[in-house]
Amino acid sequence: MRDNLQIYYTMLDRVTSWLPEERITRLRNLCLFVTGLFLAGSVYLSKIASELPIRGKNPSLVNRLRRFLKNPRVAVRHFYRPVAEQVLGAFDGRKIRLIIDCTKLGFGHQVMTVAIAYRKRALPLAWSVHCGSKGALAVHKQIALLRYVQRLLPRKSPVWLLGDSGFQHVPLLRWVRRQGWHLVIRQTGHHKVRRTGGQWVKLADIPLKPGETRYWGWVRLTEKHAYGWVSLVLHWETGEDEPWYLVTDQAADWRTIRLYKVRMWIEIVFTQMTKPHVLAAWASRDHISDLDIVVGDQYPVDQQLHQFPLLLERGVGQTRLNTTAEALDRRTQLSQLPLPIGLMAELFGLLFQPLVLSF
Protein backbone atom coordinates (compact mmCIF):
# COMPACT_ATOMS: atom_id res chain seq x y z
CA MET A 1 0.00 0.00 0.00
CA ARG A 2 1.31 3.46 -0.83
CA ASP A 3 2.47 5.50 2.13
CA ASN A 4 -0.18 8.17 1.70
CA LEU A 5 -2.94 5.56 1.55
CA GLN A 6 -1.72 3.86 4.71
CA ILE A 7 -1.49 7.18 6.50
CA TYR A 8 -4.94 8.20 5.30
CA TYR A 9 -6.69 4.98 6.32
CA THR A 10 -4.93 4.85 9.69
CA MET A 11 -5.98 8.41 10.37
CA LEU A 12 -9.53 7.89 9.14
CA ASP A 13 -9.96 4.88 11.41
CA ARG A 14 -8.89 6.87 14.44
CA VAL A 15 -10.81 10.03 13.61
CA THR A 16 -14.05 8.16 12.96
CA SER A 17 -13.71 6.53 16.36
CA TRP A 18 -13.18 9.97 17.90
CA LEU A 19 -16.08 11.61 16.09
CA PRO A 20 -18.63 8.85 15.39
CA GLU A 21 -21.52 11.30 14.96
CA GLU A 22 -19.71 13.51 12.45
CA ARG A 23 -20.58 13.30 8.79
CA ILE A 24 -18.22 10.84 7.11
CA THR A 25 -17.55 13.10 4.12
CA ARG A 26 -16.16 15.81 6.41
CA LEU A 27 -13.97 13.31 8.21
CA ARG A 28 -12.66 11.97 4.92
CA ASN A 29 -11.80 15.46 3.75
CA LEU A 30 -10.18 16.26 7.09
CA CYS A 31 -8.00 13.15 6.87
CA LEU A 32 -7.16 13.85 3.24
CA PHE A 33 -6.10 17.37 4.12
CA VAL A 34 -3.99 16.37 7.11
CA THR A 35 -2.37 13.50 5.18
CA GLY A 36 -1.41 15.82 2.34
CA LEU A 37 -0.29 18.50 4.77
CA PHE A 38 1.92 16.09 6.66
CA LEU A 39 3.54 14.55 3.59
CA ALA A 40 3.93 17.79 1.65
CA GLY A 41 5.58 19.62 4.52
CA SER A 42 4.07 22.74 2.98
CA VAL A 43 0.96 24.85 3.35
CA TYR A 44 0.57 25.43 -0.37
CA LEU A 45 -2.73 23.83 -1.30
CA SER A 46 -1.29 22.77 -4.65
CA LYS A 47 1.51 20.86 -2.91
CA ILE A 48 -0.88 19.35 -0.39
CA ALA A 49 -3.10 18.21 -3.25
CA SER A 50 -0.16 16.51 -4.95
CA GLU A 51 0.21 14.18 -1.95
CA LEU A 52 -3.43 13.13 -1.70
CA PRO A 53 -4.13 9.40 -2.06
CA ILE A 54 -6.90 9.98 -4.59
CA ARG A 55 -7.01 10.48 -8.34
CA GLY A 56 -7.70 13.81 -9.96
CA LYS A 57 -6.05 16.79 -11.56
CA ASN A 58 -4.28 19.13 -9.20
CA PRO A 59 -6.63 22.14 -9.73
CA SER A 60 -9.63 19.93 -9.04
CA LEU A 61 -8.10 18.56 -5.84
CA VAL A 62 -7.16 22.07 -4.71
CA ASN A 63 -10.76 23.17 -5.16
CA ARG A 64 -11.91 20.19 -3.10
CA LEU A 65 -9.60 21.19 -0.27
CA ARG A 66 -10.70 24.79 -0.49
CA ARG A 67 -14.37 23.84 -0.26
CA PHE A 68 -13.63 21.82 2.86
CA LEU A 69 -11.72 24.67 4.46
CA LYS A 70 -14.54 27.11 3.74
CA ASN A 71 -17.24 24.79 5.07
CA PRO A 72 -18.98 26.62 7.95
CA ARG A 73 -19.98 23.26 9.46
CA VAL A 74 -16.36 22.36 10.13
CA ALA A 75 -16.31 23.18 13.84
CA VAL A 76 -12.74 23.75 14.95
CA ARG A 77 -13.20 23.06 18.64
CA HIS A 78 -15.35 19.99 17.96
CA PHE A 79 -12.72 18.50 15.65
CA TYR A 80 -9.81 19.29 17.94
CA ARG A 81 -11.35 18.28 21.26
CA PRO A 82 -10.40 14.55 20.98
CA VAL A 83 -6.76 15.56 20.54
CA ALA A 84 -6.86 17.74 23.65
CA GLU A 85 -8.59 14.98 25.62
CA GLN A 86 -6.00 12.42 24.57
CA VAL A 87 -3.15 14.71 25.60
CA LEU A 88 -4.77 15.44 28.95
CA GLY A 89 -5.55 11.77 29.52
CA ALA A 90 -1.83 11.12 29.76
CA PHE A 91 -1.70 13.56 32.72
CA ASP A 92 -4.40 11.84 34.77
CA GLY A 93 -3.30 12.01 38.39
CA ARG A 94 -0.26 14.15 37.55
CA LYS A 95 0.31 17.85 38.07
CA ILE A 96 -1.02 19.91 35.17
CA ARG A 97 0.57 23.27 34.43
CA LEU A 98 -1.75 25.38 32.30
CA ILE A 99 -0.30 28.40 30.53
CA ILE A 100 -2.65 31.17 29.50
CA ASP A 101 -1.39 33.90 27.26
CA CYS A 102 -2.49 36.39 24.66
CA THR A 103 -0.68 37.89 21.70
CA LYS A 104 -1.36 40.21 18.80
CA LEU A 105 -2.69 38.47 15.71
CA GLY A 106 -2.36 40.30 12.42
CA PHE A 107 -3.94 43.72 12.29
CA GLY A 108 -6.55 44.45 14.91
CA HIS A 109 -6.97 41.08 16.61
CA GLN A 110 -5.60 39.08 19.54
CA VAL A 111 -5.39 35.34 20.04
CA MET A 112 -5.77 33.92 23.55
CA THR A 113 -4.51 30.40 24.12
CA VAL A 114 -4.58 27.93 26.98
CA ALA A 115 -1.86 25.29 26.66
CA ILE A 116 -0.46 22.52 28.80
CA ALA A 117 3.24 22.63 29.63
CA TYR A 118 5.20 19.59 28.53
CA ARG A 119 8.98 19.20 28.25
CA LYS A 120 9.71 22.88 27.64
CA ARG A 121 6.86 23.06 25.16
CA ALA A 122 3.29 24.29 25.28
CA LEU A 123 0.69 22.03 23.68
CA PRO A 124 -2.43 24.10 22.87
CA LEU A 125 -5.70 22.86 24.34
CA ALA A 126 -8.04 25.68 23.31
CA TRP A 127 -7.82 29.14 21.79
CA SER A 128 -10.01 32.06 20.78
CA VAL A 129 -9.53 35.17 18.68
CA HIS A 130 -10.84 38.60 19.65
CA CYS A 131 -11.08 42.02 18.07
CA GLY A 132 -8.63 44.61 19.31
CA SER A 133 -4.86 44.57 19.18
CA LYS A 134 -4.08 46.38 22.44
CA GLY A 135 -4.92 45.97 26.09
CA ALA A 136 -5.91 43.01 28.23
CA LEU A 137 -9.00 41.05 27.29
CA ALA A 138 -12.07 41.28 29.49
CA VAL A 139 -12.07 38.93 32.45
CA HIS A 140 -15.28 37.21 31.33
CA LYS A 141 -13.59 36.23 28.06
CA GLN A 142 -10.62 34.81 29.95
CA ILE A 143 -12.88 32.82 32.26
CA ALA A 144 -14.95 31.54 29.33
CA LEU A 145 -11.89 29.95 27.71
CA LEU A 146 -10.68 28.51 31.01
CA ARG A 147 -14.14 27.13 31.76
CA TYR A 148 -14.07 25.20 28.48
CA VAL A 149 -10.63 23.79 29.28
CA GLN A 150 -11.79 22.86 32.77
CA ARG A 151 -14.34 20.46 31.28
CA LEU A 152 -11.49 18.58 29.58
CA LEU A 153 -9.24 18.21 32.61
CA PRO A 154 -8.79 14.93 34.53
CA ARG A 155 -10.54 15.28 37.86
CA LYS A 156 -7.72 13.86 39.98
CA SER A 157 -4.95 16.08 38.63
CA PRO A 158 -3.75 19.12 40.59
CA VAL A 159 -3.83 22.17 38.32
CA TRP A 160 -1.57 25.21 38.26
CA LEU A 161 -2.41 28.26 36.16
CA LEU A 162 0.50 30.40 34.97
CA GLY A 163 -0.05 33.82 33.43
CA ASP A 164 1.47 37.23 32.91
CA SER A 165 0.04 40.57 33.99
CA GLY A 166 -2.66 40.42 31.33
CA PHE A 167 -4.38 37.95 33.66
CA GLN A 168 -3.75 39.72 36.98
CA HIS A 169 -7.29 40.84 37.71
CA VAL A 170 -8.75 39.78 41.03
CA PRO A 171 -12.05 38.41 39.63
CA LEU A 172 -10.04 35.94 37.56
CA LEU A 173 -7.89 34.98 40.54
CA ARG A 174 -11.01 34.37 42.60
CA TRP A 175 -12.51 32.17 39.89
CA VAL A 176 -9.31 30.15 39.62
CA ARG A 177 -9.20 29.50 43.34
CA ARG A 178 -12.88 28.53 43.44
CA GLN A 179 -12.04 25.73 41.00
CA GLY A 180 -9.46 24.42 43.45
CA TRP A 181 -6.58 25.35 41.14
CA HIS A 182 -3.29 26.88 42.20
CA LEU A 183 -1.81 29.92 40.49
CA VAL A 184 1.30 31.94 39.78
CA ILE A 185 0.29 35.23 38.17
CA ARG A 186 2.42 38.26 37.47
CA GLN A 187 1.24 41.70 38.62
CA THR A 188 1.99 45.14 37.21
CA GLY A 189 3.97 47.61 39.28
CA HIS A 190 1.05 49.99 39.80
CA HIS A 191 -0.88 47.45 41.89
CA LYS A 192 -0.79 47.98 45.62
CA VAL A 193 -0.33 45.38 48.34
CA ARG A 194 -0.58 45.41 52.12
CA ARG A 195 1.02 43.22 54.74
CA THR A 196 -0.72 42.41 58.01
CA GLY A 197 -0.88 45.61 60.03
CA GLY A 198 0.92 47.58 57.31
CA GLN A 199 0.06 50.30 54.83
CA TRP A 200 -0.82 49.94 51.17
CA VAL A 201 2.30 50.19 49.03
CA LYS A 202 2.70 50.24 45.28
CA LEU A 203 4.70 47.27 44.01
CA ALA A 204 6.91 49.50 41.86
CA ASP A 205 7.88 51.49 44.98
CA ILE A 206 9.37 48.46 46.75
CA PRO A 207 13.17 48.71 46.33
CA LEU A 208 14.58 45.98 44.07
CA LYS A 209 17.81 45.75 42.10
CA PRO A 210 18.52 43.74 38.93
CA GLY A 211 19.36 40.16 39.90
CA GLU A 212 17.70 40.55 43.33
CA THR A 213 14.87 38.47 44.80
CA ARG A 214 12.69 39.44 47.76
CA TYR A 215 10.05 37.28 49.41
CA TRP A 216 7.39 39.50 50.93
CA GLY A 217 5.23 36.84 52.49
CA TRP A 218 1.45 37.02 52.66
CA VAL A 219 -0.28 40.18 51.45
CA ARG A 220 -3.62 41.63 50.46
CA LEU A 221 -3.82 42.51 46.77
CA THR A 222 -5.18 45.89 45.48
CA GLU A 223 -6.91 48.52 47.56
CA LYS A 224 -10.15 48.02 45.67
CA HIS A 225 -10.50 44.31 46.37
CA ALA A 226 -8.15 43.66 49.30
CA TYR A 227 -7.92 40.14 47.91
CA GLY A 228 -6.02 37.50 49.74
CA TRP A 229 -4.16 36.34 51.37
CA VAL A 230 -1.68 35.68 48.57
CA SER A 231 2.06 35.14 48.81
CA LEU A 232 4.27 37.67 47.01
CA VAL A 233 7.74 37.34 45.56
CA LEU A 234 9.60 40.16 43.81
CA HIS A 235 12.25 38.97 41.39
CA TRP A 236 14.36 40.85 38.85
CA GLU A 237 15.62 38.25 36.41
CA THR A 238 19.06 38.95 34.95
CA GLY A 239 18.67 40.37 31.46
CA GLU A 240 15.05 41.49 31.98
CA ASP A 241 14.09 45.16 31.67
CA GLU A 242 11.59 45.03 34.52
CA PRO A 243 11.12 43.05 37.73
CA TRP A 244 8.56 40.30 38.13
CA TYR A 245 5.92 40.75 40.82
CA LEU A 246 4.47 37.28 41.30
CA VAL A 247 1.55 36.25 43.49
CA THR A 248 0.64 32.68 44.35
CA ASP A 249 -1.80 30.92 46.65
CA GLN A 250 1.06 28.85 48.08
CA ALA A 251 3.96 30.08 50.21
CA ALA A 252 6.31 31.70 47.68
CA ASP A 253 9.87 30.43 47.37
CA TRP A 254 12.42 29.77 44.62
CA ARG A 255 10.08 27.17 43.11
CA THR A 256 7.51 29.92 42.46
CA ILE A 257 9.97 31.70 40.20
CA ARG A 258 10.92 28.50 38.42
CA LEU A 259 7.26 27.68 37.87
CA TYR A 260 6.56 31.11 36.41
CA LYS A 261 9.38 30.63 33.91
CA VAL A 262 7.43 27.69 32.49
CA ARG A 263 5.04 30.29 31.08
CA MET A 264 7.71 31.26 28.54
CA TRP A 265 7.33 27.91 26.79
CA ILE A 266 4.25 29.17 25.00
CA GLU A 267 6.32 31.72 23.09
CA ILE A 268 7.22 29.04 20.51
CA VAL A 269 3.55 28.71 19.63
CA PHE A 270 2.95 32.46 19.38
CA THR A 271 6.11 33.09 17.41
CA GLN A 272 4.79 30.87 14.66
CA MET A 273 1.15 31.93 14.85
CA THR A 274 2.06 35.57 14.31
CA LYS A 275 4.40 35.42 11.31
CA PRO A 276 3.67 38.70 9.46
CA HIS A 277 3.65 37.19 5.97
CA VAL A 278 1.26 34.49 7.11
CA LEU A 279 -1.21 36.78 8.82
CA ALA A 280 -1.53 39.58 6.29
CA ALA A 281 -4.97 38.38 5.19
CA TRP A 282 -6.41 39.07 8.65
CA ALA A 283 -6.36 42.82 8.08
CA SER A 284 -9.82 42.92 6.51
CA ARG A 285 -11.55 40.71 9.08
CA ASP A 286 -14.37 42.41 10.98
CA HIS A 287 -15.23 39.60 13.37
CA ILE A 288 -13.52 36.36 14.29
CA SER A 289 -15.07 33.88 16.67
CA ASP A 290 -12.23 31.37 16.69
CA LEU A 291 -8.70 30.85 15.48
CA ASP A 292 -8.81 28.91 12.26
CA ILE A 293 -5.59 29.72 10.49
CA VAL A 294 -2.63 27.75 9.27
CA VAL A 295 0.93 28.56 10.17
CA GLY A 296 3.71 26.92 8.22
CA ASP A 297 7.16 26.36 9.63
CA GLN A 298 9.13 23.28 10.52
CA TYR A 299 10.47 24.79 13.75
CA PRO A 300 7.41 24.50 16.01
CA VAL A 301 6.69 21.01 14.74
CA ASP A 302 10.18 19.92 15.75
CA GLN A 303 10.18 21.89 18.98
CA GLN A 304 6.75 20.90 20.19
CA LEU A 305 6.13 17.50 18.72
CA HIS A 306 9.35 15.57 18.34
CA GLN A 307 8.46 13.74 21.55
CA PHE A 308 5.42 12.31 19.80
CA PRO A 309 6.09 9.13 17.83
CA LEU A 310 5.50 9.88 14.17
CA LEU A 311 5.31 7.66 11.14
CA LEU A 312 9.02 7.40 10.68
CA GLU A 313 9.21 5.29 13.82
CA ARG A 314 6.61 2.94 12.40
CA GLY A 315 8.39 2.64 9.05
CA VAL A 316 5.52 4.27 7.18
CA GLY A 317 7.32 6.60 4.77
CA GLN A 318 9.59 9.52 5.43
CA THR A 319 8.42 12.57 7.31
CA ARG A 320 9.01 15.77 5.46
CA LEU A 321 8.29 18.25 8.19
CA ASN A 322 11.80 19.67 8.10
CA THR A 323 11.18 21.69 4.98
CA THR A 324 11.58 25.44 4.75
CA ALA A 325 8.59 27.52 5.76
CA GLU A 326 6.35 28.30 2.82
CA ALA A 327 3.67 30.92 2.30
CA LEU A 328 0.03 30.00 2.18
CA ASP A 329 -1.60 29.57 -1.21
CA ARG A 330 -2.67 33.18 -1.69
CA ARG A 331 -5.91 32.17 -3.34
CA THR A 332 -7.10 30.76 -0.02
CA GLN A 333 -8.02 33.13 2.78
CA LEU A 334 -6.34 32.32 6.04
CA SER A 335 -9.60 32.63 7.90
CA GLN A 336 -10.95 29.56 6.15
CA LEU A 337 -8.30 27.11 7.32
CA PRO A 338 -9.72 25.07 10.19
CA LEU A 339 -6.67 24.15 12.29
CA PRO A 340 -3.20 25.60 12.80
CA ILE A 341 -0.61 23.42 11.11
CA GLY A 342 1.12 22.58 14.38
CA LEU A 343 -2.15 21.38 15.86
CA MET A 344 -2.88 19.26 12.81
CA ALA A 345 0.56 17.73 13.16
CA GLU A 346 -0.28 16.97 16.80
CA LEU A 347 -3.50 15.33 15.70
CA PHE A 348 -1.48 13.18 13.33
CA GLY A 349 1.28 12.33 15.79
CA LEU A 350 -1.15 11.30 18.51
CA LEU A 351 -2.72 8.68 16.29
CA PHE A 352 0.04 6.20 16.93
CA GLN A 353 0.92 6.07 20.61
CA PRO A 354 -0.13 7.63 23.90
CA LEU A 355 1.91 10.53 25.16
CA VAL A 356 4.89 9.31 27.17
CA LEU A 357 5.48 11.57 30.14
CA SER A 358 8.91 12.33 31.43
CA PHE A 359 9.50 15.51 33.42
> If we measure between CA atoms, which residue out of 335, 340, 329, 325 comes closest to residue 294?
340
CB neighbour list of residue 331: distance below 8 Å, 6 or more residues apart:
45, 66
How much is the average pLDDT of 61-73?
Answer: 92
Q: How many C-alpha atoms does 18 have within 13 Å on its Cβ side?
A: 22
Which DSSP letter does residue 284 get? G
HSE-CB of 304 using CA atoms within 13 angstroms = 30
DSSP 247-281: EESS---HHHHHHHHGGGGGHHHHHHHT-HHHHGG
Nearest-angstrom CA–CA distance, 271 and 284: 22
| pLDDT digits 0-9 by tens, 14-40 | 899 999 999 999 999 999 998 998 888
Q: What is the mean pLDDT of residues 291-313?
A: 32
Longest dimension (CA), the chain: 77
Higher pLDDT, 156 or 132: 156
Residue ranges and CATH numbers for the domains of the chain are: 3-74+292-349 (no CATH), 83-266 (3.90.350.10)
Backbone angles phi, psi at 256, to 5 degrees: -65, -45
Higher-scoring residue by pLDDT: 165, 341:
165
Reply yes or no on whether the pLDDT at 116 is more than 70. Answer: yes
pTM of the predicted structure, to 2 decimals: 0.75
Question: Over the chain, what is the mean pLDDT?
Answer: 79
